[in-house]
Structure 1
Amino acid sequence: MRLHVDQRHERVLELVRDRGSLRVAELAEELGMSAVTLRRDVETLAARGLVERLHGAVVWPSDRPRPAPAAAAPPGAGLVVGMVVPTTEYYYADVVRGARETVEAVGARLTIGLSHYLPDEDAAQARRLLSTGADGLLLTPSWERGRPEAGEGLWAAEQETPVVLVERSAPLGHPAARLDRVRSDHAHGAAEAVAHLAGLGHRAIALAVQDSPTAPRLRVGYGAAVEALGLTPVTPSPLDAVPSRSEADRFERTLEYLCEGVASGDVTAAIVHSDADAIVLIPRLQARGVRVPEDLAVIAYDDEVAGLADLPLTAVAPDKHAVGAAAARLLLSRLGVAEPGAVGADSRAAGGSPAARRHVDILPTLRVRVSCGAAAAS
């Protein structure tokens, strides 16, 4: 179909504007026009100052700005990452923030589902996110001990879309153990706290933890460090055998446990999970005549608010932001997307086969303040 003269002029301007310059012969061939007709059109446009003719070429005028080339779409444009977490408060606020920043850095979008630790709500939220377009899932199931019991969590391993477990793991042999996962190494964090207290001369160190998905790993790390360092075993917290019935019950029984340990000389230091619990307990200990850190050195776990206590708390700090970011990078790699400037896991191994699954443990750090009595504390 022959173009109207105005349409021909518009096409000529469009091509010259985009490319900067073109030879007349090349332009005529690309537009399917005779060289005579094209030269006539070019002369008309040149007379109007819209293009310049130069040695058989058509050139965009130097005094007229060319539009910037269209930016390439980010690698994750159009992708949606679904994330199911128990809550976006306290610990998980930073986990979600790390995931969100990583997902948005590649042009993808993060959508959230909250389980509030309700039974079966994890699966329901995952189904909802998938039904509304999520291409992959970051999952923190509400497993009471941080890992599924027998027959629990099978649905997570049955998803057709990529799934990465966040701050959770499954026991060997469980189908979910084959999933990618990223978690804080809480056992290492507890062991670091024990080692720090032992370095300050403490031989009898108690562990006081609330019933939570984090607690089992804290007990593992604590027990391993006590044994490895040859420390004096202390009577376990009564909450280890009989979980608390309420927050008031937890504080009361933990307070009695620590006061009795200090009074008998059996306990000189304690690791308390969480730092919110430690902030509640320390004034109660002091009211009972237990001085911190003189009579009882304390290290808290989580470091959400430990530095804000009136007696700043030494605390183990899991890098929640790094966990969320690493989990998002791993999921994005399964979706074929790499974070700009990052060297991440490739979703395909050499030869095009799927890359091996990854279990990533991120080590917490110890932040020394006043409550442990360290000479280096500020």
Structure 2
Amino acid sequence: MRPHVDQRQARVLALVRARGSARVAELAGELGISPVTLRRDVEAMAARGEIRRMHGVISRLEADPAGAELRTPADVKTGAADTGTERGAAGLVIGMVVPTTEYYFADVVRGAREAVEARGARLTVGLTRYLVGEDRTQADRLLSTGADGLLLTPNWQAGSPGPGEGAWTAELPVPTVLVERWAPPGHPAASLDRVASDHADGAARAVRHLSELGHKRIALASRETPTSGRLRTGFAAAVATLGLEPAPAWPAAGTAPLAEAEAFARTLDYLCAAVAEGGVTAALIHSDTDAIMLIPRLQARGVRVPEDLAVITYDDEVAELADVPLSAVAPAKREVGARAAGMLLDRLEDRGAGREGPRQHLDLLPRLTVRP
């Protein structure tokens, strides 16, 4: 087997020297070998000082000023920053804790995976299914199996930690980025890097569009989720800024959480009453699946959509698949995952090079897609 390995690595070295640089994934396809095999070759060749690797790309070393042999690390003076740069992200393992890999988080995980693999690292996932305490269990499990850093979506019901909740996230022994979660100033988790969708802006975009269509009284229908608090904030701010008439208040509910069927029935009753008695002519409904289920029931009770009630949904997962495609606000889910992964990999590389940049809080603006 050894002659074959030597021949393969010699071929890689020749191609890199001829071209200057090459992407690992593309080179693997050209050579007819798996990316995993090529990454092992690249690690060995980089360790011997034959090539330089960084962010899924390999390149030749700098030419000697005299035009002779290519220089190896023994010939080049490098500091800590150079060492970190050469290591790049190759070989790193990124752990990702998410509630699910379905619906909303399918695209978040996909974006993270693409970004991680593009830089030669590997993504491993732990699922919590929104179970209390499971996020910490999964984080500990991923760390025990060798994760160098964590992308973390804790099971915070309001999207941010409640009283006495979540301090453990700031005590993790590896760099950690919060994904689609946030912590208020003063909370230990506020010191973590984070990437999230700006759901408040998404709600405001929907209200502004409906206002431009002439609607003066707009309702928000959303069950309690980690997204709903930010939606209410953005919705209320847009209504006030645009000088719109407030929709009827939601009926008071008890302190005990409602079962799913009860919550759905309450939303249906609210919207019917808001149209019939409250002068509401448009609504932002979170989520797509709720909207698709609500619309035929609204129509069965005499509320025509869109004649009596114009609807925009939030999430844009299946809005286009409704019998009449629905306009929807789409958070940049895939980009959230990609940006969070990139932020974490940058943090790991900086740490390896002895650098420590400022923490970052990045909010990505959702997009409104209008469908006729």
| Structure 1 residue ranges, 4+ long, deviating more than 3 angstroms after superposition | 69-75, 238-244, 346-349
Shift of the alpha carbon at 1:208? 0.5
**What's the counterpart of residue 82 of structure 1?**
95
CA contact (8 A) 1:239 1:250 kept: no
Q: Separation in 2 of the partners of 1:290 and 1:354?
A: 57
**With structure 2 as the length reference, what TM-score do the two structures score?**
0.75
Shift of 1:275: 0.7
Higher mean displacement: 238-247 or 306-315? 238-247
- The gaps in structure 2 that reach 5 residues or longer are 1-9, 15-48, 57-87
Letter in 2 for 1:368: V
Kindly indicate whether the alpha-carbon contact (under 8 Å) linking 2:248 and 2:278 is maintained by their aligned counterparts in 1.
no
* Deviation by residue 1:201-220 (Cα, 9 ceiling, x = unmatched): 11100010011000000000
Contact 2:152 2:176 in 1 (8 A): yes
Among 346, 351, 369, the alignment partner of 1:367 is 369
Q: How far apart are the structure 2 equivalents of 1:240 and 1:367?
A: 33
1:163 aligns with 2:176: yes
Q: Counterparts of 1:240 and 1:279 in 2: how far apart (Å)?
A: 24
Contact 2:327 2:368 in 1 (8 A): yes
Structure 2 residue 339 is the aligned partner of structure 1 residue 326: yes
SS in 2 for 1:238: coil
Q: Aligned with 2:182: secondary structure?
A: coil
| % identical equivalent positions | 64
What is the Cα-based RMSD across aligned positions, in Å? 2.2
Give the conservation status (yes or no) of the 8 Å contact 1:211–1:244: no
Count of residue pairs brought into register by the alignment: 294
Q: Which residue of 2 aligns with 1:146?
A: 159
**2-side partners of 1:240 and 1:332: how far apart?**
45
1:159 Cα deviation from its structure 2 partner = 1.1
Deviations 1:270-318, CA, capped at 9 Å, x for gaps: 1100010000000001111111111001110000000000011110000
Counterpart contact for 2:247–2:278, Cα < 8 Å: no
The answer to whether the Cα contact below 8 Å between 1:145 and 1:212 also exists between their aligned partners in 2 is: yes
Equivalent of residue 291 in structure 2, options 271, 278, 285: 278
Instruction: Say which of 160, 171, 190 aligns to 1:177.
Output: 190
- Specify which of 355, 358, 363 is matched with residue 356 of structure 1: 358
Q: Is the 8 A contact 1:211 1:243 kept in 2?
A: no
Is the CA contact (8 Å cut-off) linking 2:104 and 2:317 kept in structure 1? yes
How far does the alpha carbon of each residue in 1:228-258 deviate from its partner, in whole angstroms, 9 at most, with x for none? 0000011233378767522211221111111
Aligned residue for 2:324, secondary structure, equals coil
Contact preservation (8 Å) 1:207, 1:236: no
- Gaps (5+ residues) in structure 1? 1-14, 20-68, 337-345, 370-376
Alignment correspondent of 1:340: none
| 1:99-152 deviations in Å (ceiling 9; x for gaps) | 000000011000000111111111110011001000000000000000001211
Task: Give the deviation of 1:267 after TM superposition.
Answer: 0.8
Equivalent positions of 1:138-287 (< 5 A) are 138-238=151-251, 245-287=258-300
TM-score w.r.t. length of structure 1: 0.74
Distance 1:184 1:239, change over 3 A: farther
* Secondary structure of 2:329 counterpart: strand
Equivalent residue in structure 1 for 2:137, among 117, 120, 124: 124
Task: Answer yes or no: is the 8 Å Cα contact 2:286–2:314 preserved in 1.
Answer: yes
Contact 2:117 2:123 (C-alpha < 8 Å) held by counterparts: yes
In 2, are the aligned partners of 1:186 and 1:218 still within 8 Å (CA)? yes
Answer whether contact 1:348 1:354 (CA < 8 A) is retained: no
After superposition, the Cα gap between the structure-2 partners of 1:240 and 1:87, relative to the gap in structure 1 and judged at 3 Å, is farther
Kindly name which structure, 1 or 2, has the bigger radius of gyration based on alpha carbons: 1
Look up the equivalent residue of 1:211 and give its one-letter code: E
